[in-house]
Structures are given as structure tokens and as C-alpha cells.
Amino acid sequence: MRNEAYDFGQRLRKLRMEAKITQQELAEKLGVTEWSIKNYERNIQLPPVDKLEKMALLFRTSLDYLRNLEKRKPVYLDDLPRSTQIMILDIIKVIREEQQYRKGD
């Protein structure tokens, strides 16, 4: 986790510098304080998801890039053993049924 956070702060600073905007300008665009931006870039705190989404749109990049997740290999259902596929599909079915039940309340 620590390395991901470190990468995040550096990536954010790099993107901000490439966009030629100040920490204050970024703060205004995101609706946070300048101190929040400083803390993000120093890896003192990570932004909430809604701010990450705004950053991705602003800098025209992906959430995966911001969070250093683009190197992770996705897992595809078809690549899993058949027994695991069935188990996952059963779990999804139970979740959907639970959601339908809650909507009926």
C-alpha cells in the first residue's frame, strides 16, 4: 500500500505540472483546499474516490494510472476452472436475488 501511495503522489504532481496548473488551481477544480492537494502529493492522505474520478477526467487519464493499477493483470472468468466459474456465477446470482429482494421492501 505504501508504494502505491508513493506512486500516487508523484503521479499527481507530474500530471499537475504537465498541465501547468498550480496546487491552488487544482484544489479549486476539485473543490478541496490547497492543503488537501499538498497532502495528496506528499502522500499524507489519499483522495476520496469522487476526487480521483475528477482528477482522471481533468488530466485525461485512467483511475488505474492514478492508482498505479495498470500493471495488474485482469482475471477473466473464461480463464478460470469450470468449477470456479460456476461458484462465481452462483455468488453473483445470490447477490442479484438479494438486491431484488431489498428493492421489494
Per-residue CA distances from 82 to 14, 46, 87 (Å): 44, 38, 9
Residue 69 confidence (pLDDT) above 80: no
Tell me: the pLDDT tens digits for 12-34? Answer: 999 999 999 999 999 999 999 99
Q: Cell 494510472: give the residue.
A: 65
- pTM, rounded to two decimals: 0.62
Q: Which sequence spans correspond to the domains of the chain? A: 2-66, 74-105
Structural domain 2-66, CATH architecture: Orthogonal Bundle (1.10)
Tell me: the pLDDT tens digits for 2-11? Answer: 455 558 899 9
Tell me: the pLDDT tens digits for 44-57? Answer: 999 999 999 999 99
CA dihedral 37, 39, 41, 47 (to 10 degrees): -70
Neighbours of 26 (CB within 10 A): 23
Question: Which of 11, 44, 16 lies closest to 30 in space, CA to CA?
Answer: 16
